[in-house]
Chains A and B, each alone.
Chain A
Amino acid sequence: MSILEEVDLLKKIPLFANIETSKLKLLAFTSERVTYAPDETVFEQDEIGQEAHIIMSGEAEVIVTTPTGPLTVATVKKNDFVGEIAILCDVPRTATIRAKSELTTLCISKDLFFRMITEFPQMAVEIMRVLAQRLEKTTKVLAQAEQELRTARGGAK
């Protein structure tokens, strides 16, 4: 796969949709493309994160450790962006990512990610927008969940 194809892929990711092609090219050129065999771990929960991954091909499972054991909470696939939380706010990884099939990701190191953001503010704005959207969505879901919880408690009384 050449850089141009990678750039096409990046463009399909909402986070990068509005960013100039030349910047995406720079991102692709300066990041490493990494291949994982099936069942290989991309990163482990509670580790300190040093990079984020954009999935270029293949699928991976998002696994969270719960008191009752590991729980697969989602599957990520092509165009998904994983691991950005840990590098944005320095918290340990919130989940484990494990390759389900042969997996190729574009691995963006924390350093590179921050440098890109400082260098190209429109990228930062874009990321903010995506995160805000996520927050909005999460808030909605939370509100809904609280509503449900309250109803359930009310029902129990």
Chain B
Amino acid sequence: MQRNVFSFIWRFSRLEQIYVLFLTVASFPFLYYSLELPKIIVNEAIQPGQEAGSVFTVAGFEFEQIPYLFVLSGMFLALVFINGGFKYYINVYRGRLGERMLRRLRYELYLRVLRFRLPRFKRMSQGEIIPMITQEVEPVGGFVGDAFALPAFQGGTLLVYLVFIFMQDPILGAAAIAFYPLQAYLIPKLQYHVNQLGKRRVRAVRQLSDKVGETVAGTGEVLAHDTANYHLADYTNRLGEIYDIRYEIFRRKFFIKFLNNFINQITPFFFYSIGGYLVIQGDLSFGALVAVLAAYKDLSGPWRELLNYYQRTEDIRIKYDQVVQQFQPEDIMPEEQIHEDRPLTDPLSAEITLSNVSFAEDDAVPSVDGVNLTLNTHTHVAVLGGSGSGKEELAMLLGRLLVPSGGRLLVGGQDMADLPNSIVGRAIAYVGPSAHMFTDSLRANLYYGLKHRPLKDPVRDDAEQAVRRRRLADALAAGNSAFDIAADWIDYEAASATDAQDLQARALEILALVELDADVYRMGLNGTIDPAVNDALADRILKARLSMRGRLEASEGKMSSLVELYEQERYNDSATVAENVLFGTPVGHVFALDGLADNPYMQQVLDRASLTDDFVEMGGKVAATMLELFADLPPGHEFFEQFSFISSEELPDFQPLVARIEREGTANLRQEDRRRLMALPFKLIPSRHRLGLIDDTLQERLLAARKMFAADLPAEWRQSVEFFDPAAYNAASSLLDNILFGKIRYGQSGIGDKVQAMVAEVVAELDLRDDIVAIGLDHSVGVAGARLSTIQRQKLALGRALLKQPDLLILNQATGALDGGSQGRIHAELRRRFQGKGLIWAPHRPGLAEGFDDVLVMAGGKVVQRGSFRDLAAQQGGALATLLESE
């Protein structure tokens, strides 16, 4: 990467820069002429006292005065157009050039992040990298277009004016530039300090961003240890530092400006004094002095521009240096390793040989120290050792997440460090103790290991194709990746699948192997489908609904009914009032529970069902109850969240309202207060809240409102509610809710489990399980997998590695979070599946390696024992025996 911003710009935009320069120069005569023309118009065309009938010649044509004036004015107008056009074209061209270079720079930096060796990230945090790539390089883009053209243009202009002044009078010329050497000497000196401060500022802001990132990541610890104030103080201190630096920069910058202005203003002093003297002495004509003064005024423009340009250049240079320095580590992965797509023709060679392999970070004690080994990649090897024994590093070296700092690691005679990622990343699967999950669906995370290259172009219509072609051309022009993100990247073949459907079947099989299927099934039950896309499944869910209904009715005798079904003609005691009136699931925010009382259509329905007053009345009672129950609790108490209809912030507002209702009833309340009260009853679930507010007659009237709501719903809001219809799939509800088609009743012991069991029966009967698991695969894992438990993440990471069917699987404490039972089953199944293939296993407990015929025991970065587990464990006082004792 170019160490200097100018060489970067020149290297990648040479031709464009020359073109911009050429355009700038080409625009010059027009600009000059547009300044010249007004003078001609005034002096020649308008000038009174021209002899009548005098004739003017323009380009060989002769004109009288009036037509001459119009011709010149017309030319002036044309020049205005041409100048504007030039400016517009050059600006757009420069802007695009800048964007292209910015994009190239950002791409290059990101590519470098991907090329960093793992240990680099121990020294460089996410919080530092992100602002560098996003903000710090941003001004470079704006600068690129100006880099060469601006100094050339302004310098040229300056030169023209200077020559003009010298032509008038060499002494005045000398006076005009007398201070330039001083400025040229002084300004860089002063600027140097500003540059140093600029560097410090960049570093300080980077550290600030790092701290913010750290705080976000460690919020839990901050809460757990009450250290918020400590962080606030630290943050304040950093802000103070940045404040000081910035303040200092401002002071110095404005001082430079002041100095410049002062020097620029002092030159006219010489003109007036020396020039005036010369005029009086008769050595200089008065006209020439005026001309020089005018020229000098014009001179200050370009000069100031040049000085500004200088300051800006320095600023950009620092920013570029500061960023690029961070992205130039010595040990960076060669770029070809990422790009080279060498097909994996043979399975991984049968032997991995380590000769004198060491690994050390910086100058620390090596964690792997001169290991000599030969491993057969068709057998199973366990690597054991205590913490700090080097077993983790050895596993990572074998997975090429790390490269040896000494010695050689050969695979079939080739140095592993030289193999392209396309071979290592496909033939080997490494799973560490805390594999990362990407913020996407479970499916995307599971298929992640199959996305190496785009394999099938997406289907696009002509317009989309044109857009893609243009964007591809732009990407190539900026040196970006030519690969299409919208393509199908999944390597089905690698998973022994033929198509998406087949792959999903394989994925389900693997989910069962890593015992994640039950979890995914649950997620699937709570997931939604679009019946327009997935109509076959929707139909089967409706069958399940029927079957469920049959079962519920059959069980009615033995136990009181478990689920209160949605019935058009009956009020549902287990659902909210809102659900009872809507009799459907809200889609989007129009009929969402929180804003229902403010919805004009809902208000209208309530009015027509003459329920408005009842709602206000009920709202008053609910508010009074809430006040009675929760007013004593401290704000923010968890009861509010769990039980209250009114949040702790709003509760005090209801106090005067409730007091007023107690005094004079609800009749004279303000409209706004009535609205607030009306919002409360919507959340009532009679059988759960037991407030005794909804009696039989009110239920009848709510049912009437339900009918009105559905009957007159305006067409524009048809899409905003999905009505409950026993014969139709409800796209807005989860699969489970669609099967139940009702609400689980409150207040029966263990009712949740009973319903679950019944649903499981129905699912088994209709053979729906796989489909539901498949829906669960589309469940989002949250930011970095945060919605999954540690156990689920480990299982998913394992599944991801298995799906791509590696020749060699390396497990580095990859099952530590799992419970004993599933660990045992998964381990046994893995070993069975990898019969005849390579499996290198560094388990979290040495005892787990029982049954391995090839066990390496490590201590202090060296292999101290090798042999079958049984033999080594039997050696009294041996390394393995000691390890097993301390387990």
Contacts and interface: CB of A to CB of B under 8 A. Distances in A.
A40 B754 CA distance: 13
Given A2-B691, A3-B690, A30 B747 contact: no
Given A25-B628, A34-B748, A4 B560 contact: no
Interface string B103-132: 000000000000000000000000000000
Interface string A96-124: 00000000100000000001000100000
Contacts of A104: 747
Interface in A55-79: none
B559 A30 contact: no
Closest 4 CB pairs of A and B: A2-B692, A26-B629, A33-B747, A3-B690
A22 B629 contact: yes
Interface in A9-59: 22, 25-26, 28-30, 32-37, 40, 42
A93 to B, nearest CB: 15
Interface string B369-386: 000000000000000000
B70 to A, nearest CB: 90
B640 to A, nearest CB: 11
B660 interface: no
B643 interface: yes
A28 B747 CA distance: 13
Interface string B730-757: 0000000000000000111100000000
A1 interface: yes
Interface residues of A, number: 22
Interface in B527-573: 558-560
A6 interface: yes
Contacts of A35: 560, 747-749
A81 B629 CA distance: 23
A156 B607 CA distance: 87
Contact of A40 (B630, B639, B642, B749): B749
Given A26-B630, A37-B560, A115-B638, 15 more contacts: A2-B691, A2-B692, A3-B689, A3-B690, A3-B691, A22-B632, A25-B628, A29-B629, A29-B689, A30-B639, A35-B560, A35-B747, A35-B748, A36-B748, A42-B749
Interface in B350-378: none
A29 B643 contact: yes
Contacts of B746: 32-33
B690 A6 contact: yes
Contacts of B749: 34-36, 40, 42
24 contacts: A2-B692, A3-B689, A3-B691, A4-B692, A25-B625, A25-B629, A26-B629, A29-B625, A29-B629, A29-B643, A29-B690, A30-B639, A32-B746, A32-B747, A33-B690, A33-B747, A34-B747, A34-B748, A35-B749, A36-B748, A36-B749, A37-B560, A42-B749, A104-B747
B633 interface: yes
Interface residues of B, number: 21
Contacts of B559: 37
A99 to B, nearest CB: 9
Contacts of A33: 690, 746-747
Interface in B634-666: 638-639, 642-643
Interface in B575-629: 625, 628-629
A119 B633 contact: yes
Contacts of B558: 37
A18 to B, nearest CB: 17
Contacts of B629: 22, 25-26, 29
Contacts, number: 52
A16 B710 CA distance: 48
Contacts of A37: 558-560
Contacts of B747: 32-35, 104
Nearest to B751: A34
Interface in B321-372: none
Contacts of B633: 119
A153 B633 CA distance: 58
Nearest to B638: A115
B98 to A, nearest CB: 60
Nearest to A32: B747
B557 to A, nearest CB: 11
Given A22-B628, A35-B560, A40-B749, A30 B642 contact: yes
A3 B691 CA distance: 6
Contacts of B639: 26, 30, 115
Nearest to A40: B749
Contact of A1 (B625, B628, B690): B690
A107 to B, nearest CB: 8
B627 to A, nearest CB: 10
Nearest to A1: B690
A22 B558 CA distance: 38
A129 B42 CA distance: 109
A33 B633 CA distance: 23
Nearest to B687: A33
Contacts of A32: 746-747
A119 B633 CA distance: 8
A33 B632 CA distance: 24
A44 to B, nearest CB: 12
A46 to B, nearest CB: 18
A1 B632 CA distance: 26
A11 to B, nearest CB: 16
A53 to B, nearest CB: 10
A64 to B, nearest CB: 21
A35 B747 CA distance: 6
Contacts of B691: 2-3
A77 B639 CA distance: 30
B690 A2 contact: yes
A26 to B, nearest CB: 5
Nearest to A22: B628
B642 A3 contact: no
Q: Taking each of B560, B628, B642, B747, which has the highest tally of chain A beta carbons within 10 Å of its own beta carbon?
A: B747
Contacts of B748: 34-36
Contacts of A26: 629-630, 639
Nearest to B686: A2
A4 B625 CA distance: 11
A4 B746 CA distance: 18
A76 to B, nearest CB: 16
Contacts of B628: 22, 25
A37 B689 CA distance: 22
A115 B634 CA distance: 12
B630 A3 contact: no
Contacts of B630: 26
Nearest to B692: A2
A17 B9 CA distance: 84
Contacts of B625: 25, 29
A35 B748 CA distance: 5
Nearest to A23: B632
